[in-house]
């Protein structure tokens, strides 16, 4: 992950990731990344530009950065993606992204009214303008829909918006952050999150031939192959690394800008062994050990792995599990408890894994016993979770 800046021109109400003071990455950092990767590991590298708002880096930065990373002899490049609100996308940038096959994810939280309520006035139109420019250049764009304590009540309306427009999307649950408390009143409790996932899966099983919700494709596939295929449900440590605007290396974009999570700097070309000596690595390993210990009896541990370590670390900021403390939806900061925790969305994950397992078992039973004459099959859904498990 490359984070050219944490600055962002928008001001979404639930955002925890932007920093108006953040500087822009110099192209030298990309050159250093390229050199650093020489002999770092033998794997393919997928580059994701993230922010803040990565388009603030501008056309010249991307023209040079993409050329350096694509044509390099120091690593095997496996593709590019970029997460942006698209406000700054113009035809020139869009053509460049098309030329390099950069896949874009952009945030739209559903119909204009809901989106603008929880992000900001006029945000929907600005993003959709960029979306049209991208599509006209042949850039692949998918959406990220953030569900909050507000928008969860409009689940069907939001789902139907994406369905009607045939927009593929990924879910993002508004969750607390290590950086500050401004997102807290928007966060979903694990139970709300779990119910949301079950409700959306139920709708999605009518429409697999029309849209894609990647989260469910991954969850069902993970259950089938017994291994997490989404970073949240895999041991992400060391497989994901993020580089901030000054060249500092972090475990993931969510930690960028936090000094205690710096693992090294690309200017020093550190080896993996050197990164593993950092305090950040130590914290991640403690999380992993804690998962092995406390999730040991869980039937889902192989393809959940305790969830996202970042979420686990945030939860140590709060008392007990993530639960709302009063009607204002505020969370209570934890002054005493700094012990390690698994991802507090555990309950949500258990709920959706159980739902998928139960459905799969029922489908398997139905298919193995066949249907007796006159017996009505469970045909309320057009598709099954088996279809998702076997989806390519
Ligand atoms: S810390 Fe969380 S968001 Fe970041 S790569 Fe790991 S699982 Fe994914
Ligand atoms: S569902 Fe909960 S208990 Fe099971 S592996 Fe995930 S975090 Fe651990």
> Does the CB atom of residue 295 touch ligand 2 within 6 A?
yes
Q: Is the pLDDT of residue 356 over 50?
A: yes
Q: Is the pLDDT of residue 332 over 60?
A: no
Query: What are the pLDDT digits (tens) for 46-60?
Result: 999 998 999 999 999
| CA 240–ligand 2 middle distance (angstroms) | 21
Least confident of 100-104, 144-148, 258-262: 258-262
Which among 171, 281, 309 is the best mutation to test ligand 1's pocket, defined by most ligand atoms within 8 Å of the CB?
Answer: 309
> What's the pLDDT band for 333 if we cut at 50, 70, 90?
very low
Query: What are the pLDDT digits (tens) for 263-287?
Result: 999 999 999 999 999 999 999 999 9
| Res 212: pLDDT | 97
Q: Which atom of ligand 1 is nearest to the CA of 311?
A: 2
Q: Is the pLDDT of residue 163 over 80?
A: yes
d(CA 44, CA 208): 30
| CA 267–ligand 1 middle distance (angstroms) | 24
| Res 177: pLDDT | 78
> What's the pLDDT band for 20 if we cut at 50, 70, 90?
confident
The helix (run of H) or strand (run of E) holding residue 141 is: strand 141-147
CA atoms within 13 Å, Cβ hemisphere of 45: 26
CA–CA distance from 59 to each of 27, 49, 64, 139 (Å)? 12, 13, 9, 16
- Residue-averaged pLDDT of the chain: 89
| CA 189–ligand 2 middle distance (angstroms) | 16
Chain centroid to CA 298? 24
Query: What are the pLDDT digits (tens) for 59-104?
Result: 999 999 999 999 899 999 999 999 999 999 999 999 999 999 999 9
Strands (DSSP E) found in 31-140: 44-49, 76-83, 102-107
| CA 231–ligand 1 middle distance (angstroms) | 6
Tokens coding 122: 């006029």
Contact 86, 127 (CB under 8 A): yes
Looking at all shown ligands, the one closest to residue 290's CA atom is 2
> Does the CB atom of residue 343 touch ligand 2 within 6 A?
yes
> What pTM was estimated for this model as a whole?
0.89
CB neighbours of residue 183 within 10 Å: 20
The helix (run of H) or strand (run of E) holding residue 143 is: strand 141-147
Looking at all shown ligands, the one closest to residue 354's CA atom is 2
Q: Rounded to a whole number, what is the distance in angstroms from the first to the last CA of the chain? A: 25
Looking at all shown ligands, the one closest to residue 292's CA atom is 2
Top mean pLDDT of 174-178, 207-211, 225-229 is at: 207-211
| CA 383–ligand 1 middle distance (angstroms) | 30
Q: CA triplet 344, 356, 191: central angle to 5 degrees?
A: 30
Instruction: Please name the residue whose Cα sits nearest to atom 4 of ligand 1.
Output: 252
What's the DSSP call for residue 344?
Answer: T
């Amino acid at each position: 992950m490359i984070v050219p800046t944490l600055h962002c021109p928008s001001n979404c109400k639930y955002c925890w990731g932007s920093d108006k003071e953040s500087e822009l990455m110099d192209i030298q950092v990309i050159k250093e990344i390229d050199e650093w990767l020489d002999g770092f590991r033998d794997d393919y590298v997928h580059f994701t530009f993230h922010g803040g708002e990565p388009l603030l880096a501008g056309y010249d930065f991307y023209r040079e950065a993409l050329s350096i990373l694509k044509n390099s002899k120091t690593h095997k490049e496996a593709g590019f993606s970029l997460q942006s609100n698209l406000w700054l996308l113009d035809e020139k940038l869009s053509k460049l992204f098309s030329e390099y096959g950069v896949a874009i994810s952009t945030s739209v939280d559903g119909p204009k009214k809901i989106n603008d309520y929880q992000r900001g006035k006029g945000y929907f139109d600005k993003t959709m303008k960029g979306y049209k420019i991208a599509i006209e250049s042949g850039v692949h764009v998918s959406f990220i829909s953030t569900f909050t304590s507000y928008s969860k009540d409009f689940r069907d309306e939001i789902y139907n918006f994406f369905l009607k427009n045939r927009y593929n999307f990924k879910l993002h649950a508004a969750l607390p952050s290590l950086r500050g408390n401004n997102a807290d009143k928007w966060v979903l409790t694990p139970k709300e999150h779990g119910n949301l996932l079950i409700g959306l899966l139920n709708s999605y099983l009518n429409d697999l031939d029309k849209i894609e919700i990647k989260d469910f494709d991954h969850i069902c596939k993970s259950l089938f192959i017994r291994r997490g295929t989404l970073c949240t449900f895999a041991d992400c440590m060391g497989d994901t690394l993020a580089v901030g605007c000054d060249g500092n290396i972090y475990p993931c974009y969510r930690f960028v800008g936090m000094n205690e999570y710096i693992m090294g700097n690309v200017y020093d070309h550190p080896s993996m062994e050197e990164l593993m000596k950092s305090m950040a690595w130590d914290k991640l390993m403690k999380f992993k050990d804690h998962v092995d210990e406390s999730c040991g009896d869980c039937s889902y541990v192989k393809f959940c792995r305790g969830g996202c370590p970042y979420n686990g670390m945030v939860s140590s900021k709060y008392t007990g599990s993530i639960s709302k403390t009063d009607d204002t939806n505020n969370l209570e900061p934890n002054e005493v408890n700094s012990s390690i925790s698994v991802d507090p969305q555990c309950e949500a994950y258990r709920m959706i894994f159980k739902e998928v397992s139960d459905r799969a078992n029922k489908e398997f039973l139905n298919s193995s016993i066949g249907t007796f004459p006159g017996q009505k099959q469970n045909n309320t859904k057009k598709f099954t979770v088996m279809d998702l498990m076997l989806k390519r």
